[in-house]
Amino acid sequence: MIDRYARPKMKRTWSDESKYDKWLAVELAVCEAWAEDGVIPESDIEKLRRASYDIDRLNQVLEITRHDMTAFLQSITDKLGPEGRWLHHGLTTSDVWDTATSLQLVESADLLDEEIGKLLDAIADRAREHKHTLMMGRTHGIHAEPITFGLKLALWWDEMRRNRERVAQARAEIAVGQISGPVGTHATVPPAIEQRVCQRLGLAAAPVSNQVIQRDRHARFVTTLAVVAASLEKFATEVRGLQRTEVREVEEPFGQGQTGSSSMPHKRNPELSERVCGLARLIRGHAVTALENVALWGERDISHSSAERIILPDSCLALDYTLDLFAGVVRNMKVYPDRMKQNLEITRGLLFSQRVMLALIEKGLSREDAYEILQANSARTWDEDLDFRALLHSDERVGHYLSAEALDELFDYGYYVRYVDEVFHRVGLD
């Protein structure tokens, strides 16, 4: 991921230094377990505990070996004596790499959970603020019936709460280690060693493995991040739609002196929300690659390896950045209630069509006849730019069932949002 979309904490998690620190942690945890079994003498384990890698030496050796793990190990053993022979004892590269990667993914999940929490707080605050802010609800992009902006945000909040649960579940599924030797048989490293190593590292031991931790776990993790990103794109797309000039009910933050267009000084483009959408697409693409990585040959091949060097860090970095970005949009976006009210009225009362239809049905008219009456008057409202309520007042068929007073009482915005408090209570946003 380019620095533009990388935040410090997540960047550190996926840095080379963090990776090698975790490799060393795994190697030393294995040594400790061997020492507990009496395989490594106490005098040697004392020296091994002070072991460290040398990044410059590692890169130097890598130029020759073309193998990350052997270069890493040599950068350590160069500074050790005979005790260095115990490093990597009974292990294969994947034992160390995959277990360390799990540590990185768990750490990433914790950072993502923190950012989801911040976004949830931002959405909750704005939802409560606009709990009763009336606006038009739209289906197919067309005016439907009134809602409140708070209800729209409550929907987002509930979805992000589910996403938080999904990330927690994906974290649990990836929080596994593997110390089982070249093909997972434990021939060179007993299950008891694996169990103690994983426990020391805060991971569960994979119940069975081959040479790698199975990639369905990684696919679950990345696809979960893709689901979270898809939600963010959904919310950001709504902000973009509501910011359109002809709508202008919501506007993402736009700083003093900020440039919208290099050629048109008046422009305030929803570029933050558009960036959210773009990065969400990137993460979804990585999810496809993660799924492709599940099917490896035999006990493993390395077709997944090159892809994972990109998709795992970049998915975590991109989502971390996007969560923070959109939280800022939510906290600082401008909401225009007056404009929302204006837009409610531009169809000259058509939004009340269903309520009038239901009232006619309740008075004894068939559904089909009621629908035909309302549809015909709706068409005239659309086509002739007339007032819907006035048309209904002049329609004898409506007047036969509804008095003028009864008809006027139906044209009440409050009818549509009378359960808002109940919905907020049900969702947990009281």
d(CA 410, CA 406): 7
Q: Which residues contact 404 (CB under 8 A, 6 or more apart)?
A: 393
Whether residue 353 lies in the annotated active site: no
Tokens of 263: 């050629």
d(CA 159, CA 161): 5
Tokens of 324: 């923070």
- Which helix (H) or strand (E) segment holds residue 263: the answer is none
Contact between residue 213 and residue 98 where contact means Cβ atoms under 8 Å apart: yes
d(CA 97, CA 212): 9
Catalytic residue (one of 43, 140, 266, 403): 140
- Single-letter residue type at 111: L
Positive or negative, the CA dihedral 199, 205, 210, 215 is negative
Q: Which residues contact 10 (CB under 8 A, 6 or more apart)?
A: 108, 111, 316, 317, 320, 321
Contact between residue 360 and residue 402 where contact means Cβ atoms under 8 Å apart: yes
The string of DSSP codes covering 108-170 is HHHHHHHHHHHHHHHHHHHHHHTTT-EEEEEETTEEEEEEEHHHHHHHHHHHHHHHHHHHHHH
d(CA 267, CA 259): 8
DSSP label at 348? T
Query: Between β-strands 134-139 and 142-148, what pairing exists: parallel, antiparallel or unpaired?
Result: antiparallel
Contact between residue 215 and residue 305 where contact means Cβ atoms under 8 Å apart: no
User: Which residues are registered as beta bridge partners of 176?
Assistant: 204
CA nearest neighbour of 373 among 344, 346, 343, 407: 407
Q: What is the three-class DSSP state of 258?
A: coil
Catalytic residue (one of 261, 303, 366, 394): 261
Whether residue 15 lies in the annotated active site: no
Q: What is the three-class DSSP state of 251?
A: strand
Contact between residue 313 and residue 14 where contact means Cβ atoms under 8 Å apart: yes
Would you name the residues annotated as active-site residues? Answer: 140, 261
